[in-house]
Structure 1
Amino acid sequence: MKTALITGASRGLGAALALALAPTHHIIAVGRTTGALEELDDRIKEAGGQSTLAPMDISTDAAMQQLCRSIYDRWGSLDLWVHTAIHGAPLSPASHIAEKDFEKSVAINLTATSRLISYVTPLLGETGRAVFFDDPHAGQPFFGSYGTTKGAQIALARSWQAESVKTGPDVRILSPKPMPTGTRARFYPGEDRAPLSDIHTEAARLLPEILDPA
């Protein structure tokens, strides 16, 4: 069975994609919330799939090194990396951004992504695939921390994508529809969530773009 590493699998789109990919992939689920990962594992098993849980913080370098080493030791390679882990710092005027919030945004959204790219690239090799998800808020009022670091993450992914065209892995950047996630609820409190796309519906819509060999 193919393998899929999902960073940010404990909730939201990451969890929904884990369930959507489980029929065809052994899911390696990374997230900070152990209970949520265990619930995901139960649902995957109920559907006849298999998963390996990795309750850890992607900004902890030693943990990510150990994770990738463990993937190599057990499977030798990786077929798919789906990166949904994100830190949504509180909205704030640019002149009032708390230093700790900005540092955490940089650590999770940018630095951890850069490290993971370097660690995961050898596992993916020429034929594997990495998937990122754009959420453009750069330059929008009060989105200084999130917009800046999320935008930088996608810029980094686009560079990797351009560099890997001839050598692999295949790097894809997708654009999900707005979903009623916890992160969005913090950004838009009181928003009417009825028009938003259900996370499982969105996972099903994105799945062909994730798996399409073209």
Structure 2
Amino acid sequence: MTPAPIADPSSPPTAPAIDPLQRLRAATSALHARLDTGLPIAREGAGPDDYMRHLALLRGWVGLLQQSGAASRRLDDERDALDAELADCQRLLGQPAPRVEVRAVPDAALTADGADWGLAYVLEGSRLGGQVLHKRLAPAMVPLPLTYLRGAGAGTGPRWKQFVAELKEALTNEARMDAAAAAARHAFELLLRCHEALPTVQGESAFRPLG
């Protein structure tokens, strides 16, 4: 048997065999599909109240991620954008937004080397999907401006392409890619748990409990 060659520690990391974006999509596709059908604004006839509940759900989720150990500029920006949009919704609709409370526990999957890119994938993908929702929902959401869903507007597509380029540069080995995939899955799972804590209303689908 021929001995395996000793790795040179000065050599650059081996490029992953699979594209990072494909790995993240594969790791989260089933969870993503569940979210697409169960979120408050996915129900038939969704209106302004449903949008405010959707924002409250996302705000509770972002807070839970941060309390569980996740930390990034993107999460801070997401929190601030949701806070601003929720304040506008409560003012325009004249009612308080629901609160989503889920007990946070430290989650090593959210702090591992490479995890921040998994979280970024979920957040940036959400903003990309927000453009589709904005076009579909805007007529039914008067008087709400849907500033959060509109996001960067026409700049959302180029922003996503730039993110994908950065993602491929950052996830240059299997270990970091695995960490990113695990963090992305955990982020989706926490969002599902937050939805379980949000009381359902008539006509809204409930997710099957996790675990």
Give 1 or 2: higher strand fraction. Answer: 1
Give 1 or 2: higher helix fraction. Answer: 2
TM-score (norm 2): 0.29
